[in-house]
């Protein structure tokens, strides 16, 4: 592909527990583009090929103001205007709102990826300015628009696979992601406490850091889990980088996700690709579960009692049955949501336009 890309994203950092995956997207897009310019709000550790230039708006620097970010943004898109043909905005509609009219005047094609459940007038404006909009979930706010295309979630199945040297520990449960009310780990703690009360044996790992503003929620979560921690049935860990996540998934039997329908949490697919069985309530994923195991792995949203029942069932599975379900889940991720499939579809769209 001879196209020159401008990519705009929130953060470029291989070590970021939440956004580190996007580093891989940039690498793969750069393989087929003549050049890639990336503008990010914050820059961390990166190892990108020589045809990639990364420009930070400066969040990693202390004291930068919002006005400072905006000034840098406009200087970058102006100074680099001869170095890109296609604009790909990842998640942040603000970039489209700020630069959309300018890119239209320069006849740059605008592609926006936005997968949030909620949206507003500004979202509709960003969609209007975009040539094409992408999302991975049919329940995303942007899925309603004619110019929106449903896309694979982009899981690197070469990296996310069962670790050959990792032992999957029996009766282990994993929760991984930022700790905030929207992720609802408190429901999982309630279910775990009920399992403890009926003398079920398990070990729950909660991996992640509190998001900004959720420090109080995290403290309350730790208080609610005090008995579970005392009996070593729950262990809290700090967030880990993307490169360590496959080992984490491969060492646990069950992965629990409690985000509401409309989101499309990539961790569910990453876990499934590693053979860690996802137990979830998000209807966005329901069709991805093997039909014969759909009810078995699906619980009612915000229902700790139903989650407890599903955890009992999954923890009681035989090793052979677990392996069969895990293999089917991995096949589904490869077929429908691999990074290879995503990059191929993105490049075809960029080329056509």
- The per-residue pLDDT for range 225-256, each reduced to its tens digit, is 999 999 999 999 999 999 999 999 999 999 99
pLDDT at 1 exceeding the cut of 70: no
Outline where DSSP puts E strands in 18-131.
35-43, 52-56, 86-90, 109-113
Residue 184, pLDDT score:
95
Phi-psi region of 283 (alpha: psi -120 to 50; beta: other; left: phi over 0): alpha
Angstrom CA distances, 166 to 9, 15, 224, 293, stand at 33, 21, 31, 25
What residues have CB less than 8 Å from 343, skipping those under 6 apart? Answer: 25, 28, 29, 32, 154
| CA–CA separation, 71 and 78 (whole Å) | 11
For residue 3, pLDDT over 90 is answered with no
Hey, which residues does 11 pair with through a beta bridge? Answer: 42
Architecture of domain 172-336: 3-Layer(aba) Sandwich (3.40)
3-state secondary structure of 266: helix
Domain boundaries, the chain: 4-154+339-352, 172-336
Cα 225 to Cα 237: distance, rounded to the nearest angstrom: 13
In the predicted structure, residue 353 carries a pLDDT above the cut 70: no
pLDDT tens for 12-50 read: 999 998 999 999 999 999 999 999 999 999 999 999 999
- Whether residue 336 is predicted with pLDDT greater than 60 in this model: the reply is yes
The model carries a pTM of 0.92
Specify the DSSP element, H or E, that contains 334: helix 319-337
Distance CA 211, CA 223 (A): 18
Do the two domains 4-154+339-352 and 172-336 of this chain adopt the same fold?
yes
pLDDT interval class at 148 (50, 70, 90) = very high
pLDDT (0 to 100) of residue 344? 96
Residue 179 DSSP code: B
Return the bridge partners of 278, or none. Answer: 255
CA–centroid distance for 7 within its chain = 18
Instruction: Name every residue whose Cβ is closer than 8 Å to that of residue 329 and which is 6 or more positions away in sequence.
Output: 272, 273, 275, 277, 278, 289, 290
CB 75 within 8 A of CB 67: no
Instruction: Tell me: pLDDT of 263 over 80.
Output: no
- The single-letter DSSP state of residue 65 is -
**CATH 1.10.10.10 correct for 4-154+339-352:** no
Alpha carbons 298 and 306: distance in angstroms, whole number: 9
CA distance 87 to 353: 11
């Amino acid at each position: 592909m001879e196209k020159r890309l401008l990519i705009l994203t929130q953060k470029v950092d291989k070590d970021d527990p939440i956004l580190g995956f996007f580093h891989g997207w940039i690498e793969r897009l750069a393989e087929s583009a003549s050049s890639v310019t990336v503008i990010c709000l914050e820059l961390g550790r990166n190892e990108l090929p020589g045809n990639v230039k990364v420009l930070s708006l400066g969040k990693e620097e202390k004291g930068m103001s919002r006005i400072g970010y905006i000034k840098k943004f406009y200087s970058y898109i102006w100074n680099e205007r001869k170095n890109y043909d296609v604009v790909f905005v990842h998640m942040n509609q603000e970039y489209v709102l700020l630069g959309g009219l300018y890119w239209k005047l320069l006849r740059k094609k605008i592609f926006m990826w936005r997968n949030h459940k909620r949206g507003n007038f500004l979202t509709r404006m960003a969609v209007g300015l975009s040539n094409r909009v992408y999302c991975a979930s049919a329940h995303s706010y942007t899925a309603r628009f004619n110019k929106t295309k449903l896309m694979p979630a982009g899981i690197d199945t070469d990296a996310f696979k069962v670790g050959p040297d990792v032992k999957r520990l029996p009766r282990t449960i994993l929760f991984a992601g930022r700790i905030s009310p929207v992720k609802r780990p408190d429901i999982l703690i309630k279910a775990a406490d009920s399992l403890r009360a009926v003398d079920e044996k398990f070990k729950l790992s909660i991996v992640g850091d509190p998001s900004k503003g959720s420090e109080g929620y995290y403290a309350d979560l730790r208080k609610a889990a005090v008995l579970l921690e005392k009996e070593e049935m729950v262990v809290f860990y700090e967030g880990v980088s993307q490169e360590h996540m496959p080992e984490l998934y491969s060492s646990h039997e069950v992965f629990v996700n409690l985000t509401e329908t409309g989101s499309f949490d990539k961790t569910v697919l990453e876990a499934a690709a590693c053979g860690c069985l996802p137990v979830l309530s998000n209807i966005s994923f329901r069709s991805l579960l093997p039909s014969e195991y759909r009810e078995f792995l699906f619980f009612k949203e915000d229902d700790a009692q139903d989650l407890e029942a599903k955890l009992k069932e999954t923890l009681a599975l035989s090793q052979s049955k677990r392996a069969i379900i895990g293999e089917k889940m991995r096949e589904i991720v490869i077929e429908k949501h691999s990074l290879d499939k995503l990059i191929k579809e993105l490049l075809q769209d960029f080329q056509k336009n």
